[in-house]
C-alpha cells in the first residue's frame, strides 16, 4: 500500500466529519506526547552528560505533562469507542494509539530515571564523570534518540516500510548496548575507582535500551495499523 493511500485513509473521508476530527485529534495527542518525550529524553541525556542539576530537575517536573496527555488520550479513546464503534482501519488506529501512549509514557519514565541518575551523580564525589564512558552514553544515546524520532515520525506518516526500518535498526542498538557493557567492564578493570560512575552509566544505557525497545513497539503498532498484521510474535524479544 502506498504512503499516499495510507495517509488519506487514516482519518479522512467519513460521512460524519466530526468523526474525522475526533480521530485526528487522537492522533495529534499521540504526536504531542511523542514530541514531549523526545524533548524529555534529550534534556535528560544532556543533564547527565553536562551534570546540569537544573535541567535534570526540569525533566522530572515535566513528566507530569506526559502523564496528563496519556490520561487525555485514554479518555478520547473511550469516547470514540463508545460513540463511533470504530471498525476496520479506524479500529486498528484507535488500538494502535491506545497501545502507543502507554509506550510513550514509559519512555517518559525512562527519561525521568536518567535525570534522577544525573541528580544522584552530581551530588556524589565517588562518581566523577569519565569522558570515555560518556562517549558510550553519547553513542547509544544518539541511537535511542534517532530511533525514537523516527518512531514518532512514522506515527505521523503511517509508513509501513519506514516502520520496518525502525524495527531493524533496533537490533543495531541491542548490539551497541552489549558492546557498551563490555567497554564498561574494561574501564572498571583498569581502575576500580571508576565503579561508582560506571554503575550510573550502566543504568543510563539500560534505560536507553528500554527506550529503543519502546520505539520498536511504536513501529510495530504502525505496521499493525497499516497492514492489519500483528507482527509482535514474529520478533525475537
Partner 1 sequence: MTPMFFNQFDSNIAMVNEDERQNFHRDASRLRKRLQISSRDKEVVEDDGTVGQWSISDPRISCRNVDVNYGDKQAIKKVNLDIGRNEVLSFIGPSGCGKSTLLRCLNRMNDTIPGCRVSGEIKLDDEDVYLKHIDVVPLRAKVGMVFQKPNPFPKSIFENVAYGPRIHGLTATKDGLAEVVESSLRRAGLWEEVKDYLDHPGTSLSGGQQQRLCIARTIAVNPEVILMDEPCSALDPIATAKIEQLIDELREQYTIVIVTHSMQQAARVSQRTAYFHLGKLIEVGETASVFTQPIHKLTDDYISGRFG
Residues in touch with partner 1 (CB under 8 A): 1, 13-16, 19, 85-92, 160, 164, 167-168, 171, 174-175, 178, 181-182, 185, 189, 223, 227-229, 231, 234-236
Select 75 or 178, whichever has its Cβ closest to partner 1: 178
- DSSP letter string, 192-220: GGGHHHHHHHHHHHHHHHHHHHHHHHHHH
As measured in angstroms, the least distance from the Cβ of 168 to partner 1 is 5
Look at residue 130 and give its three-state secondary structure.
Answer: coil
As measured in angstroms, the least distance from the Cβ of 47 to partner 1 is 29
Look at residue 15 and give its three-state secondary structure.
Answer: coil
Residues in the chain: 237
Report d(CA 34, CA 149) in Å as an integer: 8
As measured in angstroms, the least distance from the Cβ of 234 to partner 1 is 6
Select 62 or 198, whichever has its Cβ closest to partner 1: 198
Select 48 or 187, whichever has its Cβ closest to partner 1: 187
Select 48 or 177, whichever has its Cβ closest to partner 1: 177
As measured in angstroms, the least distance from the Cβ of 28 to partner 1 is 20
As measured in angstroms, the least distance from the Cβ of 12 to partner 1 is 8
Select 70 or 160, whichever has its Cβ closest to partner 1: 160
Report d(CA 77, CA 80) in Å as an integer: 5
Look at residue 27 and give its three-state secondary structure.
Answer: helix
Q: How far is CA 24 from CA 17, 30, 35, in A?
A: 11, 10, 16
Amino acid at each position: 500500500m502506498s504512503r499516499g493511500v495510507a495517509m488519506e485513509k487514516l482519518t479522512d473521508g467519513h460521512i460524519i466529519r466530526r468523526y474525522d476530527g475526533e480521530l485526528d485529534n487522537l492522533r495529534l495527542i499521540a504526536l504531542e506526547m511523542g514530541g514531549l518525550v523526545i524533548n524529555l529524553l534529550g534534556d535528560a541525556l544532556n543533564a547527565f552528560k553536562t551534570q546540569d542539576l537544573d535541567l535534570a530537575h526540569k525533566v522530572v517536573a515535566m513528566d507530569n505533562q506526559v502523564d496528563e496527555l496519556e490520561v487525555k488520550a485514554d479518555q478520547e479513546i473511550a469516547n470514540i469507542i463508545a460513540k463511533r464503534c470504530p471498525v476496520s482501519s479506524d479500529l486498528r488506529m484507535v488500538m494502535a494509539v491506545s497501545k502507543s501512549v502507554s509506550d510513550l509514557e514509559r519512555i517518559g519514565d525512562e527519561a525521568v530515571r536518567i535525570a534522577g541518575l544525573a541528580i544522584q551523580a552530581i551530588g556524589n564525589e565517588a562518581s566523577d564523570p569519565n569522558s570515555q564512558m560518556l562517549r558510550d552514553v553519547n553513542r547509544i544515546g544518539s541511537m535511542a534518540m534517532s530511533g525514537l524520532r523516527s518512531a514518532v515520525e512514522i506515527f505521523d506518516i503511517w509508513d509501513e516500510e519506514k516502520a520496518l526500518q525502525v524495527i531493524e535498526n533496533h537490533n543495531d542498538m541491542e548490539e551497541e548496548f552489549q558492546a557498551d557493557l563490555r567497554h564498561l567492564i574494561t574501564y572498571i578493570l583498569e581502575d576500580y575507582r571508576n565503579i561508582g560512575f560506571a554503575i550510573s552509566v550502566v543504568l543510563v544505557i539500560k534505560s536507553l535500551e528500554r527506550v529503543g525497545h519502546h520505539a520498536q513497539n511504536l513501529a510495530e503498532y504502525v505496521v499493525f495499523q497499516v497492514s492489519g498484521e500483528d507482527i509482535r510474535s514474529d520478533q525475537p524479544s
